[in-house]
Structure 1
Amino acid sequence: MVNSLPEIFFVLLAVSVLSALFLLYPRVPLSYVRLHVGITLLPPLAALMALFTTKETIIYGPWWLDSLSWLLVSFVLIIGFIVQRYSVRYFLGDRSYRKYFALLTITTGADSVVWLCNDLRLLLICWGTTLLGLILLIRLKKEWSVARNAAKQTGQLFAISWLILFGAVIWVTQSTGHWQLTHVLAKSSLTQLELWEKTCISLMLILAVVIPAAQWPFHRWLLNTVVAPTPVSAVMHAGLVNAGGMILTRFSPLLSGNMSQIILLILSSVSVMIGTGIMLVQVDYKRQLVGSTIAQMGFMFIQCALGAFLAAIIHAVLHGLFKSTLFLQSGSALDHHKKQTSRANQPRSLLWTITGGILGLLVVIGLWLSSSGENYHFISALTLGWSVSLAWTQLVAFGNGHIARIAGFSLVAVAAIVYNFVQDAFYGVLQHSIPKGIQPPEPAAILLLIILLAGSAAGVWLARHRSSAAYTVIYLWLVRLGEPQNNLIESHPEYLTKSFFKGGHLQ
């Protein structure tokens, strides 16, 4: 049974794609959509069974089957199933109803196959299909000029990204003489590459993944895609934008120990700052989520640059699940904003706030002393300590009365227990399928720490000096950075008028 799981998975994936194509036939009743969505649940169930039964890496024809592969396949397809189930009623009545489900099934199916590919030619084809499917989903309402313009700009950047990846693959395969990724990444093959060749190929890989990950200075396309339907945004942010860290993890032996890590560190650090700033100043809920994604993807790439590829995968998966949930719940954003506003007006205890800061500091010290002393562990300890302090402030210091503070303290404790449980579970599944990366030079980690601390200090200072000229300039710059371009906004979508009226008569 275990040996037949890959065949079962591919058969079920093919059935789901054929079901999507069958749905495009006009005579098929729309009620078939519910059956189709049920069919799309079968491939991720098979992938989960393979994940829990896979004990070692298996090279099966052009496929690379290990726990990392099956985890990423399960993640992408489960997100796809949830979004399709959500969309059954969400898109009901839309003229693109059939097309939407077909495109989403094919796009997530192609994306899942990417993580199983050992043949680089097949990987290029599947990744190109994924990017093309995403462009068509953004352009789903093609009657709307704004959607067409957003898809066009996204398509241009995606084409550049895919061509750069194509060039990197051609270069490395011609230098090593292999198309199989496992052979390309073998030590005997990597020794055939000169240092400058390895660095150039690494830089091409980085450039190819930071574009679809919406990292600075290529972040604009993701801000433009807020015009896409909300379920499309959920899939995009959960299963496709975070693919960059997954690709770098697969190619990690190429990235280890060269200048490309420092360049990735700089780009991702700037992206964290810009994404966080956009998230804080935007009033549009979807743009806030986009800014958050840019920042989170930047942090994921920081983990890759520091050689912590296992942590990057954990981050990518958990962020994908969290962000897809936020997008699918975006309809309640107004009510959430009211609750946040009312909480912001509540007084908070100075003593409890100081306690939260001390607790965060103790978390940093404890994690750092219990780690192996690597650069990433120090950055991770700082991040977790800040998160604990922030959570304590929001849940405990803002608590109104003893009962509220006890409830907030309980939530913080439960969150810490769940975090440790999830982290241990991921490490247990993935520790043998992800190679440990080489850390960048010490000065690079110090530079990262300086950038993050300087950015945090600047943010605190600006928050306390909102009447200053510097605050005004930076605030307006971030607002402008997150605003749509002129050809991506309409006061009233003209295609809606044309849909109902033609020649002055109601249709």
Structure 2
Amino acid sequence: MSGSLLWLLALGPLMLAGVGLPPSALANRAPRLVNVCAFAACFSTLGLAAAAAIGLFVVGQIHTGTFGLRGIGLGLYFDALTAIMFVLVAFVGVIVIRYSRNYLEGDPNQGRFTRWLSLTLAAVLMLIISGNLLQFAMAWVATSVGLNKLLLFYPERPSAVLAARKKFLAGRLGDVCLIGAIVLLYKTFGSLDYAALFSRAEAMRATGVVPGAIHAVAGLLVVTALLKSAQFPLHGWLTEVMETPTPVSALLHAGVINAGGFLVLRLAGVISLSTPSLEVLVIVGGITALFGSVVMLTQTSIKVSLAYSTIAQMGFMMLQCGLGAFSAALLHIVAHSLYKAHAFLSSGSVIDLARASWSPSPGGEPHPARMAMIVGLVMAVTLVIGTLFGATITAQPGVFALGAIVMLGLAHLVTQSLDERFSLYVVGRTVALAVIVAGAYFGLQLAAEHLLAGALPPVKALRGPFDLVITALVVLAFAAVTILQSLLPGKPGEPLWQALYVHLSNGLYVNTLANRLVLRFWPSQPPFRPIAATSTAPVTGAKP
């Protein structure tokens, strides 16, 4: 596939943008036609993406060059990272558009919804295949605009308005940081073309001389990515977008929210030159992952629980990037996107599924010592399997940390096999499952590293004691949460546990403080409520 054929990929975003060009009033007159056109455009884009991905393995990385002045203009850049993300977003887009046809059937603004959904998808796809930073920034802003329109699809809902305003403020702050990074990059490298940026960044890495401007650029890019990915403490808007239609939640959590992670991965060659910026990713990502995971356990709303799950997963992804496991972060994005899109689109029937699969437990109650022993056993399995694949805590800390946390999720399964009626067969089968899961996880990480060898920096070893402490604290914290989760159901009446549950279910009130701050400087108008007409005629039998 040559550079000229690569321009065919741009047809996908252009077709989706064309669906969104008609005004909303016209789109609302023929909503099914608009949906059919959007589905056809996105499905065609998926076909183009799949063909381009196959071509990539035949001819390798392709860059059209930037048509403009000194790396500023239009261009396309297609490597393994672009191929995976382009196919992923196009696939999720096809599912979401098809789902929204029935979900919004009969809504008077269904055409307007499909219009803005198409425009948002077009912006995300163009962001992925951009060949230079100026084009990337334009698509970045367009994505925010389209998402804001979708968040305000029901403008009469106060929660939707508040969430959109918080997202707008965080987004504009991120835009300022991105523009600042672009200006500094242009002054330092004299170009915004990806190929030029990556080659000159590698030259700096080879010489070991990194100017202060690069540290400033990396810091600004990291802040931009953190703001886009709903990281603590500016995460609250993501939990309040539930007032929007479910297809928006699916697209947001499975696609748009990944833009921050994609920014870090796309410019990993530049960001990895700055160790302080990577440490910021480690700290913020680790705190967000732990916070989101713990709060998620206390939520009673399915969609809010999924929202906190997304916050935690984005934290994990930033933690992996900060520890230099960029290929693992991309694999995390793909797995999370597919899982979360399915979770949101099937959230309406999760209660029926839970009722159908419930069965009474025939066994005893969990014991903290037994649970701690199982956690230790699971960690030992992780250490052994990880060592076999070369993913030790010193060689690949990012890969090892997430692998340990994934295995901790199996600790409850192993514990249940011991807490119930003891059966050597059940225990053996459960332990074997843990070994298989560990092998599959580390095997996939190794495969992703080889697949993305030319597109992302290699997995980095431990940089020093600070990263070792952070990695160990993250793993130990999740081990403690695993033990706590097994004990909490048995202590519902104790005041300490009740107070802890209340505080965690409210997200430690961080989002409440953010809401007060936003409403103080950007107050919302009360929702319009029509007043029923009153009659002036006397009421029969009324007392004076």
Shorter-chain TM band: 0.7 to 0.9
CA apart distance, 1:448: 1.4
CA offsets, 1:72-99, max 9 Å, x none?
1111111111011011110111122011
Kept in 1: contact 2:77–2:130 (CA 8 A): yes
- 1:17-416 to 2 correspondence within 5 Å? 17-22=17-22, 24=24, 25-26=26-27, 29-32=30-33, 33-55=35-57, 56-61=60-65, 62-187=75-200, 191=204, 194-256=210-272, 257-338=274-355, 342=359, 347=364, 358=377, 361-371=380-390, 373=392, 374=395, 375-393=397-415
Residue identity opposite 2:261 in structure 1: G
Kept in 1: contact 2:155–2:161 (CA 8 A): yes
Distance in 2, Cα, partners of 1:82 & 1:224? 23
Residue identity opposite 1:60 in structure 2: T
* Secondary structure of the corresponding residue to residue 92 of structure 1: coil
CA offsets, 1:261-308, max 9 Å, x none?
112211111101110121011111111111111111111111101101
Pick which of 391-400 and 28-37 moved more: 391-400
Distance in 1, Cα, partners of 2:112 & 2:162? 20
Residue identity opposite 1:34 in structure 2: V
Pick which of 373-382 and 71-80 moved more: 373-382
CA offsets, 1:358-381, max 9 Å, x none?
355223222124416413343244
CA apart distance, 1:16: 2.9
Residue identity opposite 2:409 in structure 1: S
Aligned match of 2:451? 429
Match of 1:459 among 481, 484, 489: 481
Distance in 1, Cα, partners of 2:400 & 2:92? 32
* Secondary structure of the corresponding residue to residue 255 of structure 2: helix
Pick which of 474-483 and 256-265 moved more: 474-483
CA apart distance, 1:433: 1.7
Kept in 2: contact 1:357–1:389 (CA 8 A): no
Distance in 2, Cα, partners of 1:207 & 1:215? 10
CA apart distance, 1:411: 7.1
CA apart distance, 1:221: 1.3
Distance in 2, Cα, partners of 1:504 & 1:34? 46
Structure 2 unpaired stretches of 5+? 66-74, 520-525, 536-544
Distance in 1, Cα, partners of 2:7 & 2:86? 14
Q: 1:272 to 1:4 in 2, by over 3 A?
A: same
CA offsets, 1:155-192, max 9 Å, x none?
11111111111111111111221111221232368649
CA apart distance, 1:58: 1.4
Residue identity opposite 1:288 in structure 2: S
Distance in 1, Cα, partners of 2:418 & 2:139? 48
CA apart distance, 1:384: 3.9
| Normalised TM-score (structure 1) | 0.86
Distance in 1, Cα, partners of 2:447 & 2:289? 27
Q: 1:149 to 1:383 in 2, by over 3 A?
A: closer
Kept in 1: contact 2:407–2:438 (CA 8 A): no
Distance in 2, Cα, partners of 1:43 & 1:128? 22
Q: 1:265 to 1:425 in 2, by over 3 A?
A: closer
Rg (Cα) greater in structure: 2
CA apart distance, 1:43: 0.5
CA apart distance, 1:434: 1.4
Kept in 2: contact 1:161–1:212 (CA 8 A): yes
Q: 1:349 to 1:145 in 2, by over 3 A?
A: closer
Taking only the aligned residue pairs, the percentage that are identical comes to: 23
Distance in 2, Cα, partners of 1:310 & 1:26? 41
Distance in 2, Cα, partners of 1:7 & 1:267? 38
Residue identity opposite 1:48 in structure 2: A
Aligned match of 1:9? 9
Distance in 2, Cα, partners of 1:470 & 1:199? 45
| Normalised TM-score (structure 2) | 0.80
Q: 1:394 to 1:8 in 2, by over 3 A?
A: farther
Distance in 2, Cα, partners of 1:294 & 1:267? 12
Residue identity opposite 1:474 in structure 2: L
* Secondary structure of the corresponding residue to residue 240 of structure 2: helix
CA apart distance, 1:472: 4.2
CA offsets, 1:186-236, max 9 Å, x none?
236864985432222211111111112111111111112122211101110
Q: CA RMSD in A?
A: 3.7
Distance in 1, Cα, partners of 2:498 & 2:463? 37
Aligned match of 2:523? none
Structure 1 unpaired stretches of 5+? none
Distance in 1, Cα, partners of 2:136 & 2:172? 15
Residue identity opposite 2:453 in structure 1: Q
Kept in 2: contact 1:213–1:244 (CA 8 A): yes
Residue identity opposite 2:477 in structure 1: G
Distance in 1, Cα, partners of 2:461 & 2:431? 36
Q: 1:451 to 1:372 in 2, by over 3 A?
A: closer
Distance in 1, Cα, partners of 2:391 & 2:202? 31
Kept in 2: contact 1:223–1:482 (CA 8 A): no
Aligned match of 2:503? 477
CA apart distance, 1:339: 6.0
